[in-house]
Every structure is written in C-alpha cells, then in structure tokens.
Structure 1
Amino acid sequence: MATRRAFLAGLAAASLPRVSWAEVGSPACLAAGKLGDEFVLHGLSAQGESLFEIGLPARGHAAAAHPTQALAVAFARRPGTFALVLDCLTGAVRHRLTPPDGRQFNGHGAFSLDGALLMTSEVVAEGSAGRVGLWETAGFTRIGEWESGGIGPHDIRRLADGRLVVANGGIQTDPGDRTKLNTDTMRPNLTLLSPEGALLDQVELADELHQNSIRHLALHGEGVAFAMQWEGDPAEPVAQLGLWVPGSAPQLCPPPDAQGFAMKGYAGSIAVNRAGDLIALTSAPAGVVMLFDGVGNWLSSDQRADVSGAAAVGDGLRLTDGQGGVWGYGRDGLTPLARNSTEWDNHLIALA
C-alpha cells in the first residue's frame, strides 16, 4: 500500500516541469567518466560532443535514460548502494535511490516502454542471489521486486514487447571487496521475464563453458547479443560473443583461431547497429575492439588503448576510450570523432 509520504512525493514530482531530451540538445548517448579528481556523467551528441555534464558522488558505471523525459539514472560502479535520478537540464539530483537493507545495485537498469517503471539490477549482498528492483517513476519509490533467475545479475534489457532479458553472470562475490567466491561452480544464464516478472525462458551455456560469465547485453532482432568474461583457464581460448533468441539455444560466436586470445578472455561492452548487421565487442584490458556481422561471423579486430564503451548511434556504432576519445566504428575501422578531457568509463548508453 502506498504511504502518505510516497503519495506526496509523487505529487511533488508530478508538479515538476517535464523537460524533453530535445530541450537538452537531443543527446545520442550517456557516458560516465572521470574529470580530474571528479566523477561525472555526460550527454553526448552523435559526433561525440558533450551537451551537458553532471557531477557524481563517486565512480559511475552505466546509466538508464527515461524514454521521453530528460532524466537519467546514474548507477554506482558495482557493487553500489546509490542510483541518482538526474535532471539533465539543471543537473539537479531529483531522487537518490537506495536498495533495501542487505541489497546492492549491480550497475545497470532499464525503464519500461512508457517510462512509468524503472527496473534495477540488484543482488542480495550475502550470497549474490539476483533481484530486479521495481520503482515507480512519479516519485521514484520502490514498489516491489522480482527474482532475476540466477546469481549475480548484471545487465538487463527490455525487449520491444515489454519482456525483460537478464544477464545472470553466475558469480557470487564478497559483499565488501568483490572477491569471487564460486568460480569453480558458477552457472551463468540468460533469463527472460514477462512484463509482470514471471519466468518465461532460461538458458545456460554448455557445461564446459560454465565459467564464461554472461555480463552485458545488446538488443538484436527478436533477442539479444551478449558479451562474456572468461573465469576459467586463461590458456584456453573461449568465445566472448553470443547470440540468443528466446525459445532457442544460445549461439556462441568465436573469432578465428588466430584471434582467440586477442581479447584476453574479457568483453566489456557490446553494441549492435540499427540494421542488425554489425556487432561491436570491446575489451579494455586488451585494448581491442572486434567487429562481427549480424550472424556472429568475425570481420575484423582493431586496437585502441582502453577502449570500452560501445553503442548504436544512427545507422552506425560509437566507441569511447579511457583517454577521452569518441570514435565511429564499422567495416572501415575506427574513425576519430571527438576528444574530451573526461576519461570515459565502462559504458556508452544509447538513448534510443
């Protein structure tokens, strides 16, 4: 039942002017980073120019953009206990979200199609059991939660029909220092939830790949492309890209043998262009980005130090790196677009 405080907060939020993304320059992406000793969130144009910059209290990870209003939810680097609802016109913190006692945000979130619901990736701190937190967005009060279907959920993506795909990474971590506690027994999975939170489908990788943690997602046709991080023998080359359409088995997409170790077993971000025929996969530790076609065939590998963020913008792809660079990316390789004094962090989040 809604409390009087929540009701009044909702009224107050409803009374605030609703600013559209056009009124803040129609940014194409959101990106967190470090500027000197400060942490910030930027809105970037399609060409990588900063349209706004908002301070954060600590290092950010990913963000979620409201589908119509110029509101961004900035998530703390995992595991974190804050998520800030930011007014991208004024820079004001509209709300500071805190998970229930014993819970931690896990770096990602997604809005419902109409923007009325925010869904957040969370873990129970002791044991890393996964949850999806539910927040109404009139006053950003918590209204419930769903089980994520696994341990250590990270990225979540809403499909066009309202269903939610969860990347359950499978790793149990120490709630304080993030020490990995179960790499010998971890079982990552992809879980499909209904718009009401019911489990509709779930798939795991083959037994010999149970240490390939499923971390990040990009919408791809009727399903998702997914990025993985290998927790097994570093001398064994393993695919970091997979494709999944609910109702079918996941498809892994290894590069050629000569490229098997290029990413050092680590995929940080993933993006699929609007046409669905190009997939970018980044590895900051390796300083490599790989390009695949829409069915998972390797096309090329390009080197760029600390490349990490990836997003679909317009008909193409955009990348960011830890030196402040913003790049176009495609079959012709990397094209420099802009450079900022902010050192970009893990992710580049497309607004549409």
Structure 2
Amino acid sequence: MVTDRRHFLAAAGAVLLAPQLLPLRALAADDAPRRFVSGLRRETGDFALALIDARGRVLAQADMPGRPHAIAASADGRLLAAAARRPGRYLHVLSGDDLAPLAEISAAAGRHFYGHAAFSPDGRLLYTTENDYDAETGDAETGVIGVYDLKDNGTRLGEFASHGTGPHELRLMPDGVTLAVANGGIATHPDMPRLKLNIDSMAPSLVFIDRRTGSLTGQAVMPPEWHQLSIRHLTIAPDGLVAVGMQFEGARMEQPQLVALARPGDTYLTPLPLPDAELARMKGYCGSVAFDVAGHYLAATSPRGGMAVLFDAVTRRYATTVRLADCCGVAAAGMPGRFVLTSGTGAVREIDAQSNDIHETGQSGGAFDNHLTAI
C-alpha cells in the first residue's frame, strides 16, 4: 500500500568531423578492469542477468521471471536492481558480487515499472520510475518515482511525482541529492502494453528532482517543434553534465538530432550534431548513452542502425562511428576514453575513443538486452 505522501517525505528524509570507422586492433591491458551486468535472453528463450568482464567472459548468471530492461548499481557496486521492461511488475535486488538474490519487489496496485532504478548514495533507498496509469486526476497517465527501503526488505515508503508523463531512465546526480529523470512524454497503459496513446500531444522533459522532498528543482526541454522527441535515456558525467538519448515519434521524413546535453538550470537541451549520413542510419532511435569515466567522451548507441556514435563532449564534436549489428548496451570501461558495447547478437566489443582502437572481445550464447551497467 502506498504511504501518505507527508509520511513518506518525513521518512525518506558543434563542428562536424568526417565519419570514421574504428579499425580492429588489440587494446592494451586495462589498468582499471571492471565488471558489467546486462539482461540476457538465453538461446533457450528464457531470461537472465549476466555478469561479464570487459572481455565478454561470463562470470555469473541469475534467472529472471521475464525480460529485464536495465540494471542499477549502488555506488559501491555491492547491490544491483533489475527492473522489468515496461509494463512489467517485478524488480529484483541482487548481490553485485555473484548475482545472489537479496529481495523481490512487486509494483504497487495501479503501478508498473518502466525498467530503470537508482540507488541513494548509501544504498539504502531505491528509486524507480513508475506509471500511475489510473491517475485519479483523470489526466493522461502520470509518472511517479517509487521509493523503497532496502534495509527493510524493499518496503515501499511511498512515491512522488516525476513531474511528467512516461518517466524512463533516472540517475542520481553527483551531489547525492538530485535525481535526473528522463520523462519520455509518452502515455501508455498495461491493458495495451506497447501502444503509445498520445503521440500528437506528448511533452517530454529532462527534470531535476530533490529526492528528499520530491520537489522539482529544474527542467530542460527541446524546442516545441521537436516535442515528439521522446527523452528516454541519460548519463551523467562526473562534473554533473547530463547527456540524453532520444527516440523520434514524428514523421519519417524529418530527421532531428537524437543526442543532447544539459546542466541543471538550463531551459533547453543542446543537441550534439551528427553528420547527416550517420543521423540517417540511426533511424530516429537512440538506445543508450554513456560517458567515459573521465566525462570527456560520450557514446550513444542505435540498435536500429547497428552502430554506436562517439562524441568529444568537451568540444561537443562528433568523433567516430562503430558498426555493430543490433548494438544497444554501452558502459564506461575502467580507463578514460574506453567503452564496452554489447549487442542483441551476443557480441561484446571494447573500444577506445582516444586511439580509435576496437577489440573484439567475445560472443555469448544468447542475446544481450538494451542496457549494460558497469560495477
């Protein structure tokens, strides 16, 4: 049961460069190796989480009751939260060491998950994007942020508004207080699981919310003519710069930019320009975004385009393109400029944006899902 909001609040206290393709070369040994976790569809058709290293070696697997979307990691990497793909109702908390199950959470009545979650700095609270699909206001479905106490076996403390419709990815800002939330702007209902109900009137936004009070502290949007750019995914650099990846729901002949930047206090998002040919290949769809560990380089994937594009986030210039069929998962590797990519074909690649090296690391016995998380 959802707690009273007041009780909860008290308790929860561009210059373009010519396109390039990365050559296939071996990378030097990683001085700061990382592990990664992703959803996986096994060859048998069932679903799991897979813990892998940068070379694509599977270290552990955990069964999932359905298709998981994204996996959130606590700051120390000891806790993971795997949320069901929209409009799913399960969320599993697992050990970051070996994927051992720790807690199972079900969506509250009248709610479903959107596939993403974020931890408080100490790992005690978990925040999830959810849909209040039978909102008492009678308006279009309302986005909410659910809050769960992991020290109390995932008890739901309550919720606060996402200040938009269709919240998707959320992440904690470096200040440890502010949640950045991508409101995709698309209304949905579990009775019509994948139907988009308000394309003509959608109003996406990137919002900043004080996690202690649920109050809106900032909002950035695209200009009104691009209101059909659904702001879906985001990544945050160490200095607080936010990058978003968008999916276009408008006319096919239009070709808006799909990656943009913002900081708290900005009114509008600033698009990162791609060359026309690369933008066309993305087919209006950015699947995931990630900064490298230094916040200097930015990677954005497009499974529809079979590619990842890299930007220099400091100069705000396009850098290069990596071709990889059904490429969607991306995460920062342990060294500046390094990324790991995963694919729906089961492929794993490590790339270096500074040297233009790519290393073909491995091939799983299944299909990786949309997102990859470094722990």
Q: Under a length normalisation based on structure 2, what TM-score does the superposition of the two structures give? A: 0.83
Higher alpha-carbon deviation: 133-142 or 250-259: 250-259
Whole-angstrom distance in 2 between the partners of 1:2 and 1:144: 5
Structure 2 equivalent of residue 99 of structure 1: 107
Question: Contact 2:2 / 2:108 at 8 angstroms: preserved in 1?
Answer: no
**Which AA in structure 1 matches 2:349?**
W
**Which AA in structure 1 matches 2:360?**
P
Whole-angstrom distance in 2 between the partners of 1:153 and 1:252: 20
Whole-angstrom distance in 2 between the partners of 1:268 and 1:299: 19
Going from structure 1 to structure 2, the CA distance change for 1:69 and 1:333 (only over 3 Å counts) comes to: closer
**Which AA in structure 1 matches 2:198?**
N
Which among 223, 241, 255 is matched to residue 241 of structure 2?
A: 223
SS at match of 2:242: strand
How far the C-alpha of 1:29 sits from its partner, in A, is 1.5
Structure 1 equivalent of residue 288 of structure 2: 269
Whole-angstrom distance in 2 between the partners of 1:326 and 1:301: 16
Whole-angstrom distance in 2 between the partners of 1:109 and 1:287: 26
**Which AA in structure 2 matches 1:135?**
Y
Structure 1 equivalent of residue 118 of structure 2: 110
Going from structure 1 to structure 2, the CA distance change for 1:46 and 1:288 (only over 3 Å counts) comes to: closer
How far the C-alpha of 1:91 sits from its partner, in A, is 4.9
Question: Contact 2:288 / 2:328 at 8 angstroms: preserved in 1?
Answer: yes
Question: Contact 1:291 / 1:330 at 8 angstroms: preserved in 2?
Answer: no
Structure 2 equivalent of residue 349 of structure 1: 373
Which among 321, 338, 348 is matched to residue 343 of structure 2?
A: 321
How far the C-alpha of 1:110 sits from its partner, in A, is 0.4
Question: Contact 1:164 / 1:194 at 8 angstroms: preserved in 2?
Answer: yes
How far the C-alpha of 1:35 sits from its partner, in A, is 1.0
SS at match of 1:174: coil
**Which AA in structure 2 matches 1:143?**
L
- Structure 1 unaligned blocks of 5 or more: 4-25
Which among 309, 316, 324 is matched to residue 304 of structure 1?
A: 324
Whole-angstrom distance in 2 between the partners of 1:67 and 1:256: 36
Higher alpha-carbon deviation: 265-274 or 33-42: 33-42
Aligned positions of 1:169-184 closer than 5 A: 169-176=184-191, 177-184=193-200
Q: Deviations over 1:21-64 (max 9, x none)?
A: xxxxx952211111122211011223322211111111111111
Structure 1 equivalent of residue 175 of structure 2: 161
CA RMSD of aligned residues (A): 2.0
Higher alpha-carbon deviation: 123-132 or 226-235: 123-132
Instruction: Confirm or deny that 1:40 pairs with 2:58.
Output: no
SS at match of 1:261: helix
Instruction: Confirm or deny that 1:252 pairs with 2:278.
Output: no
Aligned positions of 1:103-142 closer than 5 A: 103-126=111-134, 127-138=140-151, 139-142=153-156
Whole-angstrom distance in 1 between the partners of 2:294 and 2:84: 32
SS at match of 2:277: helix
How far the C-alpha of 1:215 sits from its partner, in A, is 0.3
How far the C-alpha of 1:262 sits from its partner, in A, is 1.4
Question: Contact 2:303 / 2:328 at 8 angstroms: preserved in 1?
Answer: yes
**Which AA in structure 1 matches 2:309?**
M
- Structure 2 unaligned blocks of 5 or more: 4-32, 135-139
Whole-angstrom distance in 2 between the partners of 1:198 and 1:333: 44
Q: Deviations over 1:257-305 (max 9, x none)?
A: 2323110000001111012221111111121211111143111222211
Aligned positions of 1:82-93 closer than 5 A: 82-87=90-95, 91-93=99-101
Structure 2 equivalent of residue 19 of structure 1: none
SS at match of 2:282: coil
Whole-angstrom distance in 2 between the partners of 1:244 and 1:90: 36
Higher relative contact order structure (alpha carbons within 8 Å, sequence separation ≥ 6): 2
Aligned positions of 1:186-265 closer than 5 A: 186-196=202-212, 197-220=214-237, 221-248=239-266, 249-265=268-284
Question: Contact 1:27 / 1:51 at 8 angstroms: preserved in 2?
Answer: no
Q: What is the number of residues matched between the two proteins?
A: 329
Whole-angstrom distance in 2 between the partners of 1:242 and 1:62: 21
Whole-angstrom distance in 1 between the partners of 2:52 and 2:74: 15
Whole-angstrom distance in 1 between the partners of 2:53 and 2:232: 26
Whole-angstrom distance in 2 between the partners of 1:185 and 1:90: 45
Question: Contact 2:168 / 2:232 at 8 angstroms: preserved in 1?
Answer: yes
Going from structure 1 to structure 2, the CA distance change for 1:329 and 1:159 (only over 3 Å counts) comes to: same
Whole-angstrom distance in 2 between the partners of 1:192 and 1:207: 20
Whole-angstrom distance in 2 between the partners of 1:260 and 1:71: 37
SS at match of 1:79: coil
Whole-angstrom distance in 2 between the partners of 1:42 and 1:65: 14
Whole-angstrom distance in 2 between the partners of 1:271 and 1:121: 19
Question: Contact 1:52 / 1:88 at 8 angstroms: preserved in 2?
Answer: no
Going from structure 1 to structure 2, the CA distance change for 1:339 and 1:246 (only over 3 Å counts) comes to: same
Question: Contact 2:165 / 2:204 at 8 angstroms: preserved in 1?
Answer: yes
Structure 2 equivalent of residue 152 of structure 1: 166
Question: Contact 2:75 / 2:122 at 8 angstroms: preserved in 1?
Answer: yes
Whole-angstrom distance in 1 between the partners of 2:172 and 2:272: 23
